[in-house]
Structure 1
Amino acid sequence: MTYLLRRLVTFPLVMLGVSVLVFVAIRLVPGDSITAMLGTEAGLLTPEQKQALSAYFGIDQGWLVQYGRWLSGVITGNLGLSVTYGKPVLEVILQRFPLTLELACFSVVIALVLGLPLGVFAATRAGRGSDLSVRIFAMIGQSTPSFVFGLGIIYILSAGFGILPAMGDYVPLTQDPIGNLSQLFFPALTLGLSFTASVTRISRSAMLDVLSDDYVRTARSKGVARRNVIWRHALPNALIPVITLCGVEFGYLLGGAVLVEQIFALPGLGRMTLEAILQRDYALVQGAVLFVALNFMIVNLIVDLAYVALDPRIRLGSRS
């Protein structure tokens, strides 16, 4: 409980630091949001109209005043008004977040389903040709950008089968499960393949360490079936580094699936953030980054708590 409270206390401090960084960074980008929003039509506005629009979107004051006004709104749950969409930032984010959340979860599931068995398989055959093949696959997967997998999938489907992945407006899982899965399967596979390589390498390394422990040798000497030794005794203790990797990667997937969402035309949080940066939509970029940072910290907290469930010897209260 002490550890949990200490982590929760650090949340506001981290969020404050993130808010300062993103506030300054987005304003260092050349251009202004009014010109980016209106394009060539911005030249037709009178100075009074430009001033009125700037005041409406809260960008007519100095940086310090803007930051103080925005931060006071964040504390009360008001992330500001989006220049691009003309809606409250929180409303826009919550509309896009379900797709990105589902895509990240789907990608992690694919990576675990493929990567864990491959890692265990390689660890139990260390030094053999099959182990080398898995390690080569993992090395290639880690060194290949995810968008290359995406473009390759689209090419294979179009050139080999004459079809294209489902693209367009997001269909919620509760509304149309088949349509939802058909829309997200290939994007999730694209992200999952890259992540599979990391899971394979980490699970292999962790399994090799665990298989050399005394309790595993004791179980083998007592005649416990090889399958039970691997899957019931060794694997649970080898999952801690895998869970750590999943927690970190899941946080990155929530904010870093920009290219995949762009390739497959998915209206997710990453694509929205990219468009907001291009449009100089200060409030939307700031709100999206804060939202992703908060989710990243929550995921990492859940990962830390999961350690205790997997290994009761860990006492989070004593961790620094």
Structure 2
Amino acid sequence: MKKLLFLLLSTSAFAQNPDPSKITLVLHGGAGTITRQNMTPEKEKAYREALNRALQTGYDVLKKGGTSLDAVEATIHVMEDSPLFNAGKGAVFTHEGKNELDAAVMDGKTLKAGAVAGVTTVRNPISAARAVMEKSEHVMMIGKGAETFAKEKGLTIVDPSYFYTENRWQGLQKALKEEKVKLDHSEEKPAKPTKAPKNASSRAEELIFSEGKKFGTVGCVALDQYGNLAAGTSTGGMTNKRYGRVGDAPIIGAGTYADNETCAVSATGHGEYFIRSVVAYDIAALMRYKGLSVEEAAKEVVNKKLVERGGEGGVIALDAKGNFSMPFNSEGMYRGFITADGKKTVEIYKD
């Protein structure tokens, strides 16, 4: 009995022995038709600064001994609070002129997960997703129920007008106009919102640009010094989406997944395709059952399987040894990583 107790204590101590050289954090800020031709130096600078700030925020958490979950949440907060991304403050508008937000988080150590969908008053949906995971017996909450839960747990609640940005509003008007032209042959009439919410646009908002299809979902995967992985994803969905539509971001196994035995994944793209292909879990499954590396598995799913099915977008994937991959099949993807030595890299274009 004493020998067994000694072995258990020794194993436990070994498992919790921190190794700062392990820490790695990878993020994305959306994929789509992001090209040099449509990018001004000012716009590119704004995005690079925001991505670098998010990377540094997550790294600081990891460096101080914080968990991968802490780092993922902190990193995504930065992007949710920036009008440059389609999450939180910069969320796109639905067909009815609302901002409906989705988010999910998963702990690779325990396989616990939490998600929220269709929330309109929670400032940082990623925190609501984590609260669902840690403070409830559920995995997903939606709409008013999720908002009530978030308020009860002390999260920051805001008026829906907080999420308004002029460029996103104009993006909806453009989508509605294009839709009307396409639907002129039918009796279906898009319900155009008549008034924009009252909210002064800022200089930062003016830097947001629209250049065709752009999936601005944000996400982060991290490895902490204790060897644990975590993944998180947050999004405003798709411009002009219909009532009740939910994409892949809050669906565990589709847009978000984490398992210490394989990898942590966060996706961005056309959600319907990512849901049908169970993209995040498929990457993990290829690693587990076929023995592929994280890079081989991610590229197999994004550059082959998704392409064959007509899906567009990308992922970030990270394994428990610090190896990672950031493949995408669109023209560009906002992405970056930071390693244990604190060196940051931010990339936008395909080459």
TM-score in terms of structure 1 length: 0.27
Return the index of the structure with the highest Cα Rg. Answer: 1
More strand by percentage: 2
